[in-house]
Amino acid sequence: MSQEGCLFCRIVRRQLPAEIVAEADGLIAVKDVNPQAPTHLLIIPTEHIASLADLTEAHTTLMGKALQLGNRLARQYHLTPDGYRVVINCGPQAGQSVWHVHVHLLGGRPLQWPPG
């Protein structure tokens, strides 16, 4: 999918509404519109990158910052005492449905393993 039609690119450009909870260092974090846990946030790079498989060495710092933002949001949403999950789906069989790499932050209830 092109950047023009990408759901997350449109959110980044403020062409679609989203409940933005944080912005920092080339990242935006929003509440998931179909939450799978009491807290379900998406951490999205503002740069269009289709999937985890498309990351390059140049994205190492960006993705490290995404995880650090996830840690900060986990503290902000009081998830750290009981724990939380961080997930990146890569490809259709893994459950990726939006072709723009993003990190899921889930918590606020017991999460099962294995997840799928």
pLDDT in tens, the chain (116 residues): 567 789 999 999 999 999 999 999 999 999 999 999 999 999 999 999 999 999 999 999 999 999 999 999 999 999 999 999 999 999 999 999 999 999 999 999 999 998 86
pLDDT at site 1: 53
Whether residue 13 is contained in a domain is answered as yes
The CATH number covering residue 87 comes to 3.30.428.10
CA distances from 76 to 37, 50, 72, 85 (A): 16, 28, 6, 15
Give domain status of residue 116, yes or no: no
User: Is 1 a domain residue?
Assistant: no
* DSSP 8-state code for residue 108: S
Q: Tell me the residue range of the domain where 56 lies.
A: 7-107
Our measurement of the distance from residue 94's CA atom to the centroid of its chain's CA atoms, rounded to an integer in Å, reads 15
Contacts of 101 (CB under 8 A, 6+ apart): 44, 45, 49, 50, 51, 52, 54, 55, 88
* 3-state class (DSSP) for residue 55: coil
How much is the pLDDT for 3? 78
pLDDT of residue 77: 98
Domain presence at residue 112: no
Whether 2 maps to a domain, the answer reads no
Known catalytic membership, residue 59? no
Structural domain includes residue 30: yes
Residue of 48, 100, 102, 104 marked active site: 102
Whether 97 maps to a domain, the answer reads yes
User: In this predicted structure, what is the pLDDT of residue 47?
Assistant: 97
Does this model's pTM top 0.85? My answer is: yes
Return the structure tokens found at 83.
């724990």
| Residue 113 counted as domain residue | no
Name the domain count of the chain.
1
pLDDT at residue number 50: 97
